[in-house]
Amino acid sequence: MKESLSDINNYNMVFLIAPTGYGKTSAFHYLYHEIKRSWNRVVHVLPLRALIYTVISDAISRNIPPHDLSYQAMIPSITVDFEGKEVEIKRDPYFSKHYNITTYDSYLWTFYVCPLSEISREYAHYDVGFLMGSAGLIAFDEVHLVMATDELEAPCDVTSEYNKLLSVTSFTIKTLALIGGRILLMSATIPASFLNFIIGQLNVSQISLNVCGGERMLRYYKQRANFRKINLHDITKDYHDIAKEYINKVKTVVSAKSIEDDLTSVASKAKRILVVCNTVSRAVEIYRRAKHLKKLRDYEVILIHSRFTEAHKYEKISHITKKLKENTELVVISTQVIEAGVDFDFDALITEIAPPASLIQRIGRVSRDFEQPKDAKIVINVNEKSIASAKKVYPEVLINETKELLQDVKEEVDWRYGIFSPSFVDFLRIYDESFKEPDIDLYFGMLENLIITYRKPTFHYSTYDLLKKIDYAFQGSLIRESALIPLYVEEFNSQVALSITFLRTNYKRVLELKNNDAILLYEDGKEKRVKLESLLRHPCASMINYLKEGQILGLICKRGAYNEEVGLV
């Protein structure tokens, strides 16, 4: 991490690739005061809202003062324990604190449109958002993991959404590099083909690659990544015996049984079990069945996914953390919300099939201690339901190729160190062999217009005009499949962020309606009727008119649609 930060003084952009559990975020926090002295400000961009809490808690534990911290995400408030007192971490849409933690959604919105607090203004400070999103050190964390967690609605298709993600990511990095931004990209699992696609848009002399890993991992990036400047840090000598112990203790099984059967099999040998599903509906289905399994009668079974209120998600993450420390019998059934970055350590993992990067991250939640591996079981489920759920949110070619490679998997796999064969490196090659460069012209042209053309004084584009264009070209979201809309759950005085994709097919079930209009609730208690047809077609442009009248709590959730136990399904 020190070398990567030092390289940023000589290169615009540095990629740091190191295994799961290696301590990238913790190292970043240990070096925070050096970072602050060098760049004064850092914007740390995360793939999931659930990670905001984790990164803030880790920062506080590394003696980063709370008054240096801020966040920007669709989370109403965050409080942390600091020196025995409850301290509120401020939300800051301008990224003006020394250490700003945000999500890709919020960052890209600020960078391309305006600070979120100004979205209701006719002419917002676009330049301020662009400046604050590019000044200081910009740390991008696991960008390639930002994928849909809702089932996509026709005519959307998973591959086109994947192309949007790659196009917007590469254009953003390209723009930051062109204006002299300082960028650190951290990942455990980014494939060489993705790296080559990104650097293909740039001047390679501006970029440095630092890779920490075993000899197989280093050989992979050296042979396949088209970098002029590569620093390879070989951990083979120091970690050979530890990696050997890991593959002897952490056993992998590929199963075509039902996940309930896998749970029953694992429960007799593991106390703390994680089950990861690809969609919310699948996670709820497995949760309801798991609760009635005789083998799990002594286990506490917890469900967590993206469609819980932010308050309930925070409570669940805190409760899971407590139970893991107590080493009690626990089954956590989850979606991607705890796939990466969350420092949970389980004895066993049962996961539905997913693309390699996601599988590797999920497997990183077991036997997490990098230097002291413990006995653990990994079950990768490839039954028909698991495959079908994966293809609803990930490109079909990746799932097919992953399934093919899994047929040859034996019990011993080096999922972490990249020293022995087979290892996670073999799975990353799937991306390289199936990768097709996306058609970037449409997205690049639109993004360039957002930054340059529409901001010229002679054009007089209002914020409303910009939002209409984003609705048209990007379905209201620059990186996800569609815009996120807050849903207010009155029974719990909290919000759930829902995608327009989900609302289109479920609005009658989840929204309080009057003559087919939704009801919007403001913080002052005022209500307003919302034309659903307009909202679903132009979500961002529609919401701006309502924001002009005050702070919004969200569309009112139909009473009983949200359940504290299973969330919104």
Instruction: Please report the pLDDT score of residue 154 as a whole number.
Output: 43
Q: Does residue 460 sit within a domain?
A: no
Q: Which residues contact 94 (CB under 8 A, 6 or more apart)?
A: 115, 117, 128, 129, 132
Residues 87 and 8 placed together within one structural domain of the fold:
yes
Largest CA distance in the chain: 70
Stated pTM of the model: 0.90
Boundary residue ending a domain (207, 239, 271): 239
Condensed to tens digits (0 to 9), the pLDDT of residues 516-542 reads 899 999 999 999 999 999 999 999 988
Q: Does residue 465 sit within a domain?
A: no
CA distance 352 to 276: 6
Q: Does residue 462 sit within a domain?
A: no
pLDDT band at 157 (very low <50, low <70, confident <90, very high): low
Residues 111 and 144 placed together within one structural domain of the fold:
yes
Residues 265 and 182 placed together within one structural domain of the fold:
no
- Total tally of structural domains belonging to the chain: 3
Residues 366 and 400 placed together within one structural domain of the fold:
yes
Boundary residue ending a domain (176, 210, 239): 239
Residues 281 and 145 placed together within one structural domain of the fold:
no
Q: Does residue 157 sit within a domain?
A: yes
The percent of residues in the chain predicted with pLDDT above 70, rounded, is 96
Condensed to tens digits (0 to 9), the pLDDT of residues 431-465 reads 998 887 777 887 888 898 888 887 776 667 788 88
91: number of Cβ within 10 Å: 17
CATH code for position 347: 3.40.50.300
Residues 187 and 216 placed together within one structural domain of the fold:
yes
Residues 407 and 494 placed together within one structural domain of the fold:
no
Q: Does residue 274 sit within a domain?
A: yes
Residues 169 and 281 placed together within one structural domain of the fold:
no
- Tell me the average pLDDT across 18-27: 88
Long-range contacts of 442-447 (CB under 8 A, 24+ apart): 442/473, 443/163, 443/164, 443/167, 443/168, 443/171, 443/473, 444/167, 444/171, 446/473, 446/474, 447/112, 447/168, 447/171, 447/172, 447/175
Least confident window among 8-12, 128-132, 153-157, 263-267: 153-157
Q: Does residue 468 sit within a domain?
A: no
pLDDT band at 204 (very low <50, low <70, confident <90, very high): low
Residues 110 and 155 placed together within one structural domain of the fold:
yes
Domain carrying residue 96: 2-239
Residues 183 and 50 placed together within one structural domain of the fold:
yes
Q: Does residue 533 sit within a domain?
A: yes
Task: State the number of CA atoms in the 13 A half-sphere of 389 facing the CB.
Answer: 25
Does the pLDDT value for residue 377 go beyond 70? yes
Where helices occur in 259-383 by DSSP H, the ranges are: 259-267, 280-290, 310-326, 356-363
Boundary residue ending a domain (239, 274, 291): 239
